[in-house]
A and B are shown apart, each in its own frame.
Chain A
Amino acid sequence: MVRVKSRYLLCEINVSDRRDLLKLDDRAVAGSVKAAVARTHGDYGAALCSIRFCVKYLNAHTGIVFLRFHKGFYKLLWSALPFITSIECRGQIIPCFLNCLHVGGTIRTCQKFLIRYNTRQLHQMLPKYKNKVEEKRKIQEAILSCSLTGGGNKALEDELESEEEDDE
């Protein structure tokens, strides 16, 4: 098809102290990626990084980030990501590294991958957890709330109803 093609990188930000994760914001992440690319690839890399580069999504609770690169040179930019060792955010330097989980052609495939990845993690987490009954129940609830079955149609109907309300 005729369109501008991109690559979406689904990355996980790993920090030593999980509380630092909450301080992140998308602008800081973008800045650090740009700085890293400039450091490793020089002006050429910095220029490439200014074309269609964008942080599409950042979840400060889970540390998941979507990065969009131009398809033509995403590999070059990707190669700079391991050199990120810290992100400066809100006046603090947070030591961290980026772990790329998935590379997708559309944001949708990344989302689908993320669903699978998260559910798998939750499922793995449940048997390991042995401390508190209440906490365990919460995890179970969480797993149930995001189960794939029956999600689609119900959501669609919800949407229809909301649309109807809009029209009134």
Chain B
Amino acid sequence: MSAAKAKMREKKMRNQPASVQYPSPSHVESRAENGGEGDDVRVTGGQSDAHPSWKRQQTPPVRHGWVRGHHNGDGGYDTEMPNHITAGAFARARAAEVSAMLKAATELTCSSHVFRALPKHMRRRAMSHNTKRLPRRLRNVANRMREKSLQAGLKKKKELVKSKSRKARRRHGNLLLEFNRRQRKNIWLETHIWHAKRFHMVKKWGYCLGVRPTYKCYRPCYRAMSSHCLLQDLSYYCCIELKGEEDKLLAALTQLTCKEAGPTFAAAMFLSGARQGSVTVYRAGQYPSDPLGPVTFLWRPQTPGLTPRQLWIWAHPALKQDLLPELQSVCQCSEAMAPPVEPEVSRAEADPSPQAEPNPDNELKAGAKRKRCCKDAGEPPAKRILGDGTRLPTSPVTWRSSSTGIVINDLTMEIVRYRLIGPQSHSVLAETLEAATVCDELKSSPFWWPEHCKDRSNMKLHQQQTDVFNVLKGIYSSGELPPGTVLGLTVDDPRLTLPRQKVKAAPCVNRDQVGDEEKRNQLMLKGVPLQCCQSFLWEQSVRENVTDNKISEQELNRMRTELLVPGSRLGPGPQQGRVPVLLVHQPGKQVGDELGSWGSGWDLLLPKGWGMAFWVPLVYRGVRVAGLHMSLKHSQDKAAPHFPHDYPDCPAGSRFQEEQEAEFLETFRRRPPAKRTNYIKHGCLAPFRCPWQQLAEEWELLATDGGAERKGDGQTQKARKSHEVMEEVTSQQTVAAASPPSFTVLRNRKSLRLLSSWCRPLTCRGQRRGRGAAVALPLSDSAVTSFHSAHKMSVVWVRLTLLSKGKPEAHAMVCAPTAEDLKLFGKSPENCGPQEPPHKDHYKSRINHKKKSSKTATPSQVSDDPTASTDPHSPSDLILGLWPDPLPSVTSHCSRVTLGWVTQGDFSLSVGRGEALGFVSVSGLLHTLLRQPPELRGTLLLRNPTSLHYRFVRLNIDV
């Protein structure tokens, strides 16, 4: 019984008389109080005092609620009985009983109001509000109760009430203080408040991020991505700056990557600084195992005067904690440098600490006085936190190496990064940004731009960049540019050109000039010329100058009011900021044959502090804004793995998987057992996670074991065989218990290309379709064996397109079809696919049995149970509908052999069919492909965890 229920019961039974009996020695505590019964029982004073048990009775009785159980105990009883009774005692006993009964009969047993004592026909509406509606005899009591309840309400309210009025709390300075206090724990992006008003926010990776808007916009967001422009704030990505000699930097960084997995940091295209590159980083020298995760990187173009190179590595915040120590170790940067004492940075970070805790004296005084106090003290107004508010001001952000001279600088939250996705993102940028106007003042000023304007070469560069930017306006789609193109630019304050109403940025259509056409073609073919990739955003001093000299919104509005013609545009004067920005082209879908360069766009890199100044003008150009949810969908439509969801071999990915499993399990357990999906009956071993390691190990064993009987004729036999093998596996595991090598994700481009060509079906003429035709090695036993020996224990990222209807879900199983399935499929490709026979849930009966036995029998009887002694799982571990750990063989559990699982699946709006992304075991895939007829190669089965229906899918490995 719950505590509340017991309390209610106690309250109800408080006035009821308990039995009055002669207490047995162990009975004392169960004797309930009974309206002065203690006095009454002392029948004849002196005599009873002699007996110890009587005395014990006078001790304040322990309230035991409604428990009036009987305790056995009748020793030493006779000696304590009184010998005679008197009339007085007789009368007193009666009198005590009467008073007890009186109390019970007249008082209210229920805990509620007085008028509940009234019969129904005498009750009136709103009686609790107006006591005059009560009969007069009850009025006093009701009044008192009402007062009491009012007071109680006041008391509670008093605790809630803030010391300041709402007006005071909402005053700008105080609001800022409050915001700064709330930013201590999780970093807020600069657009946080804008997002918090419109998005479901979530605290993730130490940031407050918007997941999805509160309004419905799934399809509009997709449309924006595919036809106009979608905007995301990616400032939470961490930027790590590396400075040093080029050869030393490269020597350090090559340990982290491998050429086999694609172009690395040292690729000439990236090294020049003209393109942004992306690479998967491994632990030093560990390729192909121990990957850390994907990063994008950008080299600063070489300037003639500057020998040390500068490199920015952008990493996901979940990856940063792994990446940063690794970088420090490969660069041998162990010396932490004290944070710079420059006033800008230190103030922005150190300011809030004294401001966050306002003076307690000020707090207590009345509003007017507090105001005066603040003015008298002359405190500087609270400053907004820019950058990382959670970091301690003393924690180091820079590390230097004495031996190699490399400096690692953590630029987290120093640079704002906005991502525009969609073919029209360049026109949005072109409308929002305007190349900075030159100001030719001769006298020196604190702003950086007039100083730069004095230098002729700077001006020449600026002119070139402006030209390129103007040409950029004319291109048809953002996807036409070479991937990763970088353009540096200096722009005016975009708030000056803010339209009065939201407009939708349209592509520029006037293509009249002939010269432009040529330039445009040049731009699309060769990208931005190398010298135009330079930007002053790379310079820390310029960044700080720009951040400090930003005109506040208030000041800007004041200047607007002073305009001669109201409503006209504010001209860019010298005091208005010029902002150095970097535009980085973001390639769209690069892999696969369909929908090339879908979802391409631009990244806009800004110095910190200017986030909102650019955000609002961008939003006013009719872009859609999306959160984390859409970025997942974006990568899904691009068929690209999304970090950290689709990197199960990375530490961040495995952490993410654990969190996700716990989350799913939690929601699953919240349902009543009868309403849960019974995954055991569906033959789904792991509905909330993907045991990749187990899958890889099992297939490894199958492949080595099954090599001898390659000629084996069917999958069914194989399945049976695999059963036996699995028995072996489990036995071996228990015996050896040696940790086998962990699985790897295949990222070797050459092997992927080969595998991809093998997966494609042959056309009728025996020709392979697609691009990989030339390089393909024919699929044969020997080729497979050599491939397999090169990539043991690996899984491969695949895209699965459903051939009929159906919507794949996460953790769906990818299975190999049997020969009969393929025959059926060959007859009618619209065939829906085979069914899995329902499995039997052996655990259900065990759970039920356990429940029953625990109810009826004592624990000793349960342990006698033969099933319980053999069963390794205690009933508390068993969850109805889920397989308990350790899982049986995952490959051969169902009637079709499992090859892998889906990590993301949904109905793809871009393809118009269900599409799933996931990993399959390489050995399993090769094994399956060898057995399939060439025209149906790459046809697999997919089954959702909640369904018994297999659906045919086409497997693609996009390289």
A interface residues with partner B (beta carbon < 8 Å): 18-19, 22-27, 55, 57-62, 64, 90-91, 107-108, 111-112, 114-115, 118-119, 121-122, 125, 129, 131, 134-135, 138-139, 142-143, 145-146, 148, 151-153, 155-157, 159-160, 164, 167
CB pair B85–A146 under 8 Å, yes or no, is no
Closest to B140 in A: A153
- Given A122-B91, A160-B144; A112-B105 close (CB under 8 Å): yes
User: Is the C-beta of B324 less than 8 angstroms from some C-beta in chain A?
Assistant: no
Closest to A108 in B: B105
- Given A160-B141, A164-B148; A22-B95 close (CB under 8 Å): no
CB pair B98–A19 under 8 Å, yes or no, is no
A156 to chain B, nearest CB (A): 6
Residues of B75-129 at the interface with A, using a CB-CB cut-off of 8 Å, are 77, 81-99, 101-108
Residue from A23, A115, A122 in contact with B105 in the complex, judged by beta carbons closer than 8 Å: A115
Encode B130-171 as 1/0 by CB contact (under 8 A) with A. Answer: 000000010011001100100010000000000000000000
User: Is the C-beta of B21 less than 8 angstroms from some C-beta in chain A?
Assistant: yes
User: Is the C-beta of B194 less than 8 angstroms from some C-beta in chain A?
Assistant: no
The A contact surface, by secondary structure, is: helix
- What is the bound-complex CA distance between A107 and B105, given in angstroms? 9
* 22 A–B contacts from the bound complex (CB under 8 Å): A19-B84, A23-B81, A24-B22, A25-B22, A26-B19, A57-B17, A59-B93, A60-B21, A61-B93, A62-B93, A62-B94, A108-B104, A111-B104, A118-B98, A125-B87, A131-B87, A138-B92, A139-B91, A143-B95, A145-B99, A153-B137, A167-B152
B150 to chain A, nearest CB (A): 13
Extra 10 A-B pairs, beta carbons < 8 Å, given A111-B101, A112-B101, A129-B87? A22-B82, A23-B77, A25-B21, A25-B70, A61-B20, A61-B96, A114-B98, A115-B98, A115-B102, A153-B137
CB pair A156–B97 under 8 Å, yes or no, is no
User: Is the C-beta of B41 less than 8 angstroms from some C-beta in chain A?
Assistant: yes
B interface residues with partner A (beta carbon < 8 Å): 15-22, 24, 40-41, 70, 74, 77, 81-99, 101-108, 137, 140-141, 144-145, 148, 152
Q: Which residues of A contact B93 (CB under 8 A)?
A: 59, 61-62
Q: Which residues of A contact B18 (CB under 8 A)?
A: 57
Q: Which residues of B contact A26 (CB under 8 A)?
A: 19, 21, 70
- What is the bound-complex CA distance between A130 and B105, given in angstroms? 33
Q: Which residues of B contact A62 (CB under 8 A)?
A: 93-94, 97
Residue from A18, A58, A112, A145 in contact with B21 in the complex, judged by beta carbons closer than 8 Å: A58
CB pair A61–B105 under 8 Å, yes or no, is no
CB pair B86–A135 under 8 Å, yes or no, is yes
Q: Which residues of A contact B107 (CB under 8 A)?
A: 152, 155-156, 159
B43 to chain A, nearest CB (A): 8
CB pair A146–B74 under 8 Å, yes or no, is no
Q: Which residues of A contact B106 (CB under 8 A)?
A: 151-152, 155
CB pair B91–A18 under 8 Å, yes or no, is no
CB pair A60–B20 under 8 Å, yes or no, is yes
Q: Which residues of A contact B103 (CB under 8 A)?
A: 155
Closest to B27 in A: A25
Q: Which residues of B contact A55 (CB under 8 A)?
A: 19
- What is the bound-complex CA distance between A125 and B89, given in angstroms? 13
B464 to chain A, nearest CB (A): 79
A22 to chain B, nearest CB (A): 5
A148 to chain B, nearest CB (A): 7
CB pair B94–A118 under 8 Å, yes or no, is yes
Residue from A90, A125, A142 in contact with B74 in the complex, judged by beta carbons closer than 8 Å: A90
Closest to B145 in A: A160
Closest to A89 in B: B74
Q: Which residues of B contact A164 (CB under 8 A)?
A: 148
- What is the bound-complex CA distance between A146 and B98, given in angstroms? 6
CB pair A58–B20 under 8 Å, yes or no, is yes
- Given A26-B21, A90-B77, A167-B152; A115-B70 close (CB under 8 Å): no
A69 to chain B, nearest CB (A): 18
Q: Which residues of A contact B105 (CB under 8 A)?
A: 108, 111-112, 115
- Given A91-B74, A157-B141; A24-B21 close (CB under 8 Å): yes
- What is the bound-complex CA distance between A22 and B82, given in angstroms? 9
- What is the bound-complex CA distance between A59 and B367, given in angstroms? 66
- What is the bound-complex CA distance between A115 and B103, given in angstroms? 10
Q: Which residues of B contact A91 (CB under 8 A)?
A: 74
Q: Which residues of B contact A167 (CB under 8 A)?
A: 152
Q: Which residues of A contact B90 (CB under 8 A)?
A: 125
Q: Pick the most buried of B21, B24, B77, B93: most chain A CB atoms within 10 A of its CB.
A: B21
Q: Which residues of A contact B83 (CB under 8 A)?
A: 19
CB pair A146–B70 under 8 Å, yes or no, is no
B76 to chain A, nearest CB (A): 11
A142 to chain B, nearest CB (A): 3
- What is the bound-complex CA distance between A67 and B379, given in angstroms? 80
- What is the bound-complex CA distance between A134 and B92, given in angstroms? 13
CB pair A58–B88 under 8 Å, yes or no, is no
CB pair A146–B99 under 8 Å, yes or no, is yes
Closest to B19 in A: A58
- Given A111-B101, A160-B144; A139-B87 close (CB under 8 Å): yes
Q: Which residues of B contact A134 (CB under 8 A)?
A: 88
- What is the bound-complex CA distance between A151 and B35, given in angstroms? 13
- What is the bound-complex CA distance between A160 and B112, given in angstroms? 11
- What is the bound-complex CA distance between A114 and B95, given in angstroms? 11
Closest 10 CB pairs of A and B: A142-B95, A138-B88, A61-B93, A146-B98, A111-B105, A139-B91, A58-B19, A90-B74, A59-B20, A142-B91
A32 to chain B, nearest CB (A): 15
Q: Pick the most buried of B70, B94, B145, B148: most chain A CB atoms within 10 A of its CB.
A: B94
Q: Which residues of B contact A57 (CB under 8 A)?
A: 17-19
Residue from B15, B24, B97 in contact with A64 in the complex, judged by beta carbons closer than 8 Å: B97
CB pair B19–A114 under 8 Å, yes or no, is no
- What is the bound-complex CA distance between A139 and B88, given in angstroms? 6
- What is the bound-complex CA distance between A62 and B92, given in angstroms? 10
Closest to B15 in A: A159
Q: Pick the most buried of A64, A91, A118, A143: most chain B CB atoms within 10 A of its CB.
A: A118
CB pair B17–A19 under 8 Å, yes or no, is no
Q: Which residues of A contact B95 (CB under 8 A)?
A: 118, 122, 142-143, 145-146
Closest to A145 in B: B95
CB pair A18–B85 under 8 Å, yes or no, is yes
Residue from B41, B104, B140, B152 in contact with A61 in the complex, judged by beta carbons closer than 8 Å: B41
A89 to chain B, nearest CB (A): 9
Q: Which residues of A contact B97 (CB under 8 A)?
A: 59, 61-62, 64, 114, 118
B114 to chain A, nearest CB (A): 8
Residue from B20, B74, B77, B88 in contact with A135 in the complex, judged by beta carbons closer than 8 Å: B88
Q: Which residues of B contact A60 (CB under 8 A)?
A: 19-22
CB pair B88–A121 under 8 Å, yes or no, is no
- What is the bound-complex CA distance between A121 and B88, given in angstroms? 13
- What is the bound-complex CA distance between A156 and B70, given in angstroms? 31
CB pair A27–B145 under 8 Å, yes or no, is no
Q: Which residues of B contact A153 (CB under 8 A)?
A: 137, 140-141
Q: Which residues of A contact B19 (CB under 8 A)?
A: 25-26, 55, 57-60
Q: Which residues of A contact B152 (CB under 8 A)?
A: 167
- What is the bound-complex CA distance between A16 and B481, given in angstroms? 114
Closest to A60 in B: B21
CB pair B102–A148 under 8 Å, yes or no, is yes
- What is the bound-complex CA distance between A139 and B106, given in angstroms? 24
- What is the bound-complex CA distance between A143 and B97, given in angstroms? 11
Q: Pick the most buried of A138, A142, A159: most chain B CB atoms within 10 A of its CB.
A: A142
- What is the bound-complex CA distance between A138 and B95, given in angstroms? 11
Q: Which residues of A contact B98 (CB under 8 A)?
A: 114-115, 118-119, 122, 146
- What is the bound-complex CA distance between A36 and B565, given in angstroms? 109
Q: Which residues of A contact B137 (CB under 8 A)?
A: 153
Q: Which residues of B contact A151 (CB under 8 A)?
A: 99, 102, 106
Closest to B93 in A: A61
- What is the bound-complex CA distance between A80 and B865, given in angstroms? 46
B731 to chain A, nearest CB (A): 57
Residue from A58, A108, A138, A160 in contact with B91 in the complex, judged by beta carbons closer than 8 Å: A138
Closest to B103 in A: A155
CB pair B141–A125 under 8 Å, yes or no, is no
